[in-house]
Chains A and B, each alone.
Chain A
Amino acid sequence: MTPARIPRLELEDIVSTYQEGSQHLTALDGLSLTVGQAQFVALVGPSGSGKSTLLDIVAGLITQDSGTVQLDGESTTAKQRLGQSAYMQQRDLLLPWRTTTGNAALGLEASGMSRSIAEQRAAAELWRFGLDGFGNAYPAQLSGGMRQRAAFLRTILPRKDLVLFDEPFGALDALTRSDLQAWLAGLWEQERSSVLLVTHDVEEAVFLADRVIVLTPRPGRVAFELTVSLPRPRTRAMIASPEFIRDRATLLQALGLLGEPPP
């Protein structure tokens, strides 16, 4: 076991640039942050603040120009990080030729498990993800909310202890989104993995996370950090609590979306 004080993920001075046409743009400029063991961290920031670039770096898809990425206190290269986390994007990326069970099993299969065992494991958890009875349905037969839950199951099933979410509710309608947020809060309280969630929704960040980190506009850097004052387990009713409203106002302020506070 890793001692609790060594963070699951530690980013230090990450600089990342990319080429767009003839322009040389900086996505992240000296970004540092940590995600503790079994901690849920949300990352909010204006569009173009390099949030997705950050997740790509942590997942091992791209290499940063400079700075270090440590997992459990060990410095890692991008290649070493592949397979270390579970990464879920805004698009559900379900394979149209696989059933719900087959899609959910994909992460396990990719990391080397046989298809039949992976599908058994997936089938056993369908009910927890509200997909009971839809195991043999193809993605085209599912609603948007169900497709996203299938993508959640695919992400959670390999039980990686670092989970990266990139606006996982972004493509959903407001009602489905609010439903799934409450469901994810409950799921996380059972799973307790380390989570880094990228979102543009301040309420979602406060409702789900232990800590919320605000990024500056491009180039991205940490502008502000907040420890959420809501207790766990989280319930839907908490969004009306004074703590929730205060935390939300603080974050909106940090994002420059509220005016100066009244004297």
Chain B
Amino acid sequence: MSPAGLQRQAGWVSPLLLIALIVGVWEIAVRLSGTPVWLLPAPSDVVRSLVEDRDILLPNALVTLSEVLLGFACAVIAGVGLGVAVYRSPTLNRAFYPIIIGSQTIPIPALAPLLLVSLGYGLLPKVIVTALVGFFPIVVNTVEGLRSTDPDVVNLLRTFGASRGKVFRLAEFPSSLPSIFAGARIAVAICVIGAVFGELVGARAGLGYLMIRAIAQFETPRMVAAIVLLSVMSTSLFASVGLVERAVLPWRKYSTMIRS
């Protein structure tokens, strides 16, 4: 194997070894101390729950996943749209940007009970909380990305007679894409947290709902199994955004830094 390949492999191997070590110590500690399973389940109890309760876990995971995906999609559309509008119009910039920044001082999960009251136990309030959580990193990164456009490139296009719209399409928007993707990767991970929070407040399905029920019934292994599924979901979504980024921006593998 080439040295680069070894390094690549080493990048995956060391966290896996660390996780294996933690799981091993956890298992032994629980067994030796005789801790009751409802207080702290051993990893083997969690794995058993993952297998035995799969018919409960999977449908609920799908509910959470759909909330995350819908919320994330709304966050991307609204975030990029508003970011572009704020960048292109000084008036909108003055009107919206302080509100967007200020909105971050509101703890969005605290809005969840409010949305529950007005919108009920269904999908919509969770999607809204998820979208609100994911929106901020996307809008900020969109504006920052657009502002990073090389002014000499803009001037170059102007001397060729490009209109304002052409300059945006040929230079400004493509310049902002790496930054937008960076924002989207952060957003998708915290969208999972947003969806679960929406469910914890009040829901009839989803992994957050399942966790509350499991705790109430002292089914602690099932609750931990739900957490495991959530982190798998979060990690896979994060990696998926990275894969989409590589497909959309193939040039990035040749230069990680923007060269003029």
Contacts and interface: CB of A to CB of B under 8 A. Distances in A.
A97 B260 contact: no
B122 to A, nearest CB: 42
A100 B177 CA distance: 20
B54 interface: no
Interface residues of A, number: 29
Nearest to A109: B170
Given A93-B150, A140-B259, A59 B159 contact: yes
Given A89-B152, A106-B170, A96 B158 contact: no
Interface in B148-179: 150, 152-153, 155-162, 166, 170-171, 174, 177
Contacts of B255: 96, 138-140
Report the 6 A-B pairs with minimum CB-CB distance, sorted nearest first: A83-B161, A140-B255, A110-B160, A110-B162, A140-B254, A87-B159
Given A86-B159, A91-B152, A111-B161, 14 more contacts: A59-B159, A60-B158, A83-B161, A85-B159, A89-B152, A93-B156, A96-B254, A96-B255, A97-B251, A98-B251, A107-B160, A109-B166, A111-B160, A138-B254
Contact of A141 (B171, B254, B260): B254
Interface of B: 150, 152-153, 155-162, 166, 170-171, 174, 177, 249, 251, 254-255, 258-260
B159 A96 contact: no
A32 B158 CA distance: 25
A203 interface: no
Nearest to A58: B159
B258 to A, nearest CB: 6
B180 to A, nearest CB: 13
A38 to B, nearest CB: 21
A148 B162 CA distance: 22
B162 A139 contact: no
